[in-house]
Amino acid sequence: MIISVDQTTDFVEVISRLEEDNPFACRLISLYQSYKPDLAFVDYWLLMGDMLNYTGAIARSGSVFVLFLTDETDLEEVSSFMRVSGASEILCDGKYKLDLFDMRAHSGVILRKTEPFEKLDPYARIVQPDIREAYYLIVRCADRNFIPPSFEDFYVDVNHKLRHHSMSMHGVREGHRLAAVAMTVAESDKSAVLGAVACDPDFRKNGYGSAIVKYLTNHMLEHGKTVYLHRAKNANERFYSKLGFTEYGSWCEYSRN
């Protein structure tokens, strides 16, 4: 059974009881704490099993869906729901395979860090960058694994989430230029999902990328949050391995052809 969530439902409490320290649970909690269900562009659903026990959750932002699934989730029911949802993208745990015949799937690895870095670069000039400056650095570093949204969409979403403390963004400055940036794309009380790590090509091989990842990771761990990140297949393997991130699982993204 798939139940629509309204303001009277304690969506965060239900997810937390299932498994709060999980990257997909984190994404749903973070989105809900940023955008409540009375807004037109978001929707939330809870999944319920035969014994009237909760088995997962779904969130929609625009036409992008994020699924928090468990071993008790009825995947056939979820697949049927997603086929008629009008989704352009669906992100979920790669452990669970959905029957979405009209969408193509690609996957990657979920990495995790639970222990802080002992040594940080004492010379790195850590700043909270301007959103516009961070955006254009991310655009400059974009590749086939990540297509940035428009500046307007990025600015509105990041500005809103920063004000609601559901994400964080930090950078390293070299002189008057932003050399590297990293942000969390979602945060809950127990978890944080790291994303949008970018280092200016002019400043690479100087340790700025690893410096900002270490700083942001330690900042999250100090607040009791496990740090996760979604790595594209065969991308940045050596970089994150050297930083001590370990494999947690896999992610799968379905998208329209």
Note the pLDDT of residue 102. Answer: 84
- The DSSP secondary structure of 43-94, one letter per residue, reads EEEEEE-TTS-EEEEEEEETTEEEEEE-TTS-HHHHHHHHHTTT-SEEEEET
Regions of the chain short of the pLDDT cut 70: 122-123, 145, 257
Measure Cα distances from 156 to 45, 53, 146, 149, 247 in Å: 24, 37, 19, 11, 32
Sequence spans of domains, the chain = 2-101, 111-249
- CATH level 2 (architecture), domain 111-249: 3-Layer(aba) Sandwich (3.40)
Q: pLDDT at position 20, please?
A: 84
Structure confidence at residue 103 (pLDDT): 92
Query: 255 to each of 83, 92, 105, 204, how far by Cα in Å?
Result: 11, 12, 7, 32
What residue spans of the chain are helical by DSSP H?
11-19, 23-34, 75-83, 131-140, 151-163, 208-222, 237-242
Other beta carbons within 10 angstroms of residue 208's beta carbon come to 23
- Relative to beta strand 2-4, strand 191-199 is unpaired
Helix or strand or coil: residue 37? coil
Q: What is the largest CA-CA distance in the chain?
A: 61
For residue 123, the model assigns a pLDDT of 65
Q: 3-class DSSP state for residue 225?
A: coil
- At 146 the pLDDT is 74
| Percent of the chain surpassing pLDDT 70 | 98
Model confidence pLDDT, tens digit, residues 136-179: 999 988 877 677 889 999 999 999 999 999 999 999 999 889 99
How far is 89 from 59, CA to CA, in rounded Å?
12
Ramachandran angles phi, psi of 161, nearest 5°:
-70, -35
DSSP letter for 133, please.
H
To the nearest 10 degrees (0 to 180), the angle between helices 131-140 and 151-163 is: 130
